[in-house]
Amino acid sequence: MKAMTGGCLCGRVRYTIDAEPVHSGICHCQHCQRYTGSAFEPFMIFPRNAVRLEGTLKSFGLRSDRGGIVFYQFCPNCGSGVTNASEADPGIVVVLAGTLDDPSRFNPTAELFCGRAQAWLRLDGQRHRFPGMPS
């Protein structure tokens, strides 16, 4: 398996990932919409020990719909969102697919919070669709 690499817009934060994603998808929740400044957040979930980070991320914590704190992590220089982390599952890291050097490596298999998707958005594909967060 070839490592995945990526980073923020200005290049001060870089990462290398030596694993395939445990999950990948698209989240339509309002937090993800605001965090990315877009209609959704394309994400991949990896074991924390598979992600090697170079540079420093700033973090902002916000209570999720499920009750735990989600830490939105971004470059303090350019503001690019790079990762998310959850206090509920410290063994994983969520990587924003838009930060990949090779975005073709992203293959979303699910859509979350479809009940909050923008009405004008039409995504095609054979993904599992959930009205909220699957349990």
Q: Is residue 8 part of a domain?
A: yes
Residue 42 in this model has a pLDDT that exceeds 70: yes
Q: Is residue 122 part of a domain?
A: no
Q: Is residue 29 part of a domain?
A: yes
pLDDT confidence band for 113 (50 / 70 / 90):
confident
What are the start-end ranges of the E strands in 4-125?
A: 4-7, 14-17, 23-27, 41-47, 51-54, 58-63, 69-74, 81-86, 92-96, 110-112
In the prediction, which pLDDT does 130 show?
A: 64
In the prediction, which pLDDT does 85 show?
A: 92
Total number of domains constituting the chain: 1
Q: What is the CATH number of the domain that holds 78?
A: 3.90.1590.10
In the prediction, which pLDDT does 117 show?
A: 86
Residue 65 in this model has a pLDDT that exceeds 70: no
- Domain of 39 in residue numbering reads as 4-97
* Predicted structure pTM score: 0.88
Query: 74-87 pLDDT, tens per residue?
Result: 999 999 999 999 98
